[in-house]
Amino acid sequence: MQHNAPVVLKQVRDLGEIITDTFRFLKENWRPLFRAIGTLCLPVALLSGFIMGKSLGDLQLMLQNFSEGNTDMAVFETMVGRFLPMVLGYGLFILAYLVLIGIVHEYMRAYQLGEHHGITPGELWSRAWPQLGSYFGATFLSGLLILLGFVLCILPGLYPLTVLALVQVCHAMERTGGGGALSRSNTLVMHQFWPTLGLVLVVYILQAVLNGLLNLPFSVVSGVLELNKMGVPIGGGDEQLPFWYATFTALSTAFQLMTTMLVYPIVATALCLKYFTLIVEHEGAGLAEKIQGFEQA
């Protein structure tokens, strides 16, 4: 395989080739893709993380300083006062993540159609905006089914996690709509359930490891603070949270949400390559007609 040529999405790959070509693709396309993410998604994600982290930190500091004479109503009012900003923060993050899904997958669609050259964040936004409802529907429904599966048991959760892994890319490439993406993903994955499960586990573990490494400094400081709070002082600490705890929590939460968004294209690209592997292997005879239909959609 020639690695100096642009990555061709529409070909069969095994697990190792998918992982290798995922990073090749991102290396080749990081400028327009991450420029759009940085412009359209990261500012909202950072704001949402700061709001959530600051609210949580302030709440912990206030509860720490409550005396035994405080009434239950005072505690309740304090919690409500900090809970509302957290709801706002979560709402902003959901919006930012939805835009992220749209931006990344619309870039993949533009790449497949040869329309990615010189594409700007504004052009990607104009492509993603009309499709956000469908991306939300596909993501919400698949997430609900996956959550239900994991509530029942780990193994039942892995099944929907696998068969619904391609819902976003199915809509991006075929314009299936939110509900249709679930059926389409299930149909494709059932041809290669176990290889797809292996890819899903690998990419999500990789995502978790990268996020963990990037957030390691904040995790270490948080661990030290928690040990001090539990009465295991480290470095001369005491059992009280420091006055700067709320600001630290705000910054760490904002950074964590930022890294989550920056790592997401790895997962999306790998699953997109798996989609085209399944398409070529099992629907290769009608691929030209299918791709032509994508272009007209």
Q: Token digits for 269?
A: 């690209």
pLDDT averaged over consecutive 10-residue blocks of the chain (297 residues)? 77 95 96 96 95 85 61 61 83 96 97 94 96 95 90 79 96 94 94 94 95 90 71 52 84 94 96 96 61 52
Q: Give the span between the Cα atoms of 207 and 270, in whole angstroms.
A: 11
> What pLDDT was estimated at residue 81?
65
Handedness of CA 49, 54, 59, 60 (dihedral sign): positive
> What pLDDT was estimated at residue 154?
65
> What pLDDT was estimated at residue 56?
85
Report which of 178, 203, 171 is spatially closest to residue 268, judged by C-alpha positions: 203
> What pLDDT was estimated at residue 75?
58
Task: Check: CB of residue 136 under 8 Å from CB of residue 98.
Answer: yes
Q: What is the pTM of this model?
A: 0.86
Task: Check: CB of residue 150 under 8 Å from CB of residue 159.
Answer: no
Burial class for 143, CB neighbours closer than 10 Å (0-12, 13-18, 19+): middle
> What pLDDT was estimated at residue 221?
83
Report which of 167, 200, 168 is spatially closest to residue 186, judged by C-alpha positions: 167
> What pLDDT was estimated at residue 1?
47
Please report where in the chains the tokens 């993501």 appear, as a residue: 139
> What pLDDT was estimated at residue 135?
96
